[in-house]
Structure 1
Amino acid sequence: MTWNLHILPNSRMSAAENMARDFMLLERYPNPESIRLRHYSWSRPAYTFGLSQSHQYARSEIQVRNADLIRRPTGGGVVDHQHDWTYSLIIPAGHPLGTLPPVETYKSIHQCIVRALQSLGAKVALNEEASTSTVPSVCFEKPEVYDIVLDNLSAKVAGAAQKRTKSGYLMQGSIWKPSLPNVDWTDYYNAFIDELALTAKAHKSFVSWPGWDEEFAANCLSRFESDEWNKRR
């Protein structure tokens, strides 16, 4: 089978809009057999936190009190998005990367990021050691297994959160740009796209946003804006 990698336009949105957009790309993409990649930024200071985390805990950890604080549809810890490079990747359920154990999919995608960053001279590596901590975390405080760290150091520079449904695999990832001050992020994105296409054995193409049903899109946004979602635990 020939696979396609669809690169969506870069966008700048609120935290709730970004989470809704990722969810729609996972569950209602008109070409569900295509891999979907999206790079995005934030229209105002924002933090996101994992699906199973406590809202009260997440609120206690953020440093900008008027920032958006939105629960992700994926797991993971509290992420500060003020200075990060953010992306989402959706792999269809039938793709070989989508059928691996989640930790192996995570490793494969992060290997693409490592190679892309290394091609630009960044000294980064995969963290091979599993964390033994079971307490809630702020994402960049400590690396988990197969997170990306500065080479020969324990400083985490990239991590991601995952969700797998019958529609496919969603990875929401973040790279902490202040740790990589010499990286040209346009060059990085192009290198990452190339590495991802090679790993996924996919033909890359730049596509437009799909025209989702307005009611469905509005309902998704309302969900991620709601206290029912964000304060569910």
Structure 2
Amino acid sequence: MAADEVLLLEAAETGRAALRFYGWAEPTLSLGYFQPAASRLDSPRLAGLPWVRRATGGAALVHHHEVTYALALPPGKPWQDGGEPWGCRFHHTIAAALARVGVVMRGVVCGEEKKLHPVLCFLHYTPGDLLAASAKVVGSAQRKHRGALLQHGGILLARSEHAPELAGLRELTGAALEAEEVGKLVAEQFAADTGWRLEPDVWTGDEEIRIASITADKYAATEWNEKR
């Protein structure tokens, strides 16, 4: 979470865009910025997970058999040109990327909104979310800072024992995809869709110091995680 916030801050400060894919060292629950911390206690499976509050909105994600992505875009053109909102735009990229390996998805349209669970994001259906076989498998949330945009999202690859009510792409489509493969496919499609050149990068020493500082001050702090 702190690393993604650094990407957002640097997008605002330096004008550099970034796209990051990652997994989690252990199954973890992330709460949306506005969710009450106590909401995770409604389910014994969720209550037993390590957890963190995101800087982005939306509902809770169980980060287990999934791919998490973070897209950070500076303000202004060409990054935010006033066209289709990035929530839907990046979902179209994900759908096109996975269609290349035979996975068929479609977006939730107006009138299909549902809230099937009080806590879990993948049981909240909102326009633009991606469905496979009528079940949600991709959702995203956003935060802005000085005109720059951070978009967080999750791509659900398979069912987790911590959220058995959520089927993933493996159960819904038969596609047994690895996280690294999905990240590569989406990055390639993103470059093709935007015409932007993606360059591999690593954290600098200053960035690592900044990430550690934000982690200590915010995401590892009880005051932040239990602020609601």
Query: TM-score when scaled to structure 1?
Result: 0.81
Where do 1:131-150 residues align within 5 Å? 131=113, 136-150=118-132
Distance 1:30 1:159 in 2: 24
**Alignment equivalent of 2:196, drawn from 193, 202, 216:** 202
Distance 1:213 1:190 in 2: 24
Cα separation, partners in 2 of 1:55 and 1:37, compared to 1, 3 Å: same
Distance 2:20 2:185 in 1: 14
Shift of 1:183: 4.4
Query: Equivalent residue for 2:57?
Result: 75
3-state SS of the aligned residue for 1:156? strand
Q: Is the Cα–Cα contact under 8 Å of residues 108 and 127 in structure 2 kept in the other structure?
A: yes
Q: Is the Cα–Cα contact under 8 Å of residues 45 and 64 in structure 1 kept in the other structure?
A: no
Any gaps of 5 or more consecutive residues in structure 1?
1-18
Shift of 1:84: 1.3
Q: Is the Cα–Cα contact under 8 Å of residues 49 and 78 in structure 1 kept in the other structure?
A: yes
**Identity between Structure 1 and Structure 2 (%):** 25
Q: Which letter does structure 1 place at the counterpart of 2:223? A: E
Distance 1:225 1:111 in 2: 34
Q: Is the Cα–Cα contact under 8 Å of residues 125 and 136 in structure 2 kept in the other structure?
A: yes
Distance 1:38 1:50 in 2: 19
Where do 1:1-233 residues align within 5 Å? 19-28=1-10, 32-61=14-43, 63-100=45-82, 104-129=85-110, 131=113, 136-150=118-132, 153-166=133-146, 168-178=148-158, 179-181=168-170, 182-185=175-178, 186-212=180-206, 216-222=210-216, 223-233=218-228
Q: Is the Cα–Cα contact under 8 Å of residues 108 and 131 in structure 2 kept in the other structure?
A: yes
Shift of 1:77: 0.1
Find runs of 4+ consecutive structure 1 residues off by over 6 angstroms: none
3-state SS of the aligned residue for 1:86? strand
**How much is the aligned-residue C-alpha RMSD, in angstroms?**
2.5
Q: Is the Cα–Cα contact under 8 Å of residues 27 and 167 in structure 1 kept in the other structure?
A: no
Distance 1:215 1:188 in 2: 30
3-state SS of the aligned residue for 1:205? coil
Q: Which letter does structure 2 place at the counterpart of 1:90? A: A
Provide Cα deviations, 1:13-60, integer angstroms capped at 9, x if missing partner. xxxxxx111111111369832321111111122000111110111332
Distance 2:118 2:81 in 1: 28
Distance 1:73 1:46 in 2: 16
Cα separation, partners in 2 of 1:62 and 1:166, compared to 1, 3 Å: farther
Distance 1:213 1:52 in 2: 27
Query: Equivalent residue for 2:164?
Result: none
3-state SS of the aligned residue for 1:24? helix
Q: Which has the higher strand share?
A: 1
Distance 2:209 2:200 in 1: 26
3-state SS of the aligned residue for 1:63? helix
Cα separation, partners in 2 of 1:183 and 1:135, compared to 1, 3 Å: closer
Aligned residue pairs: how many?
212
3-state SS of the aligned residue for 2:205? coil
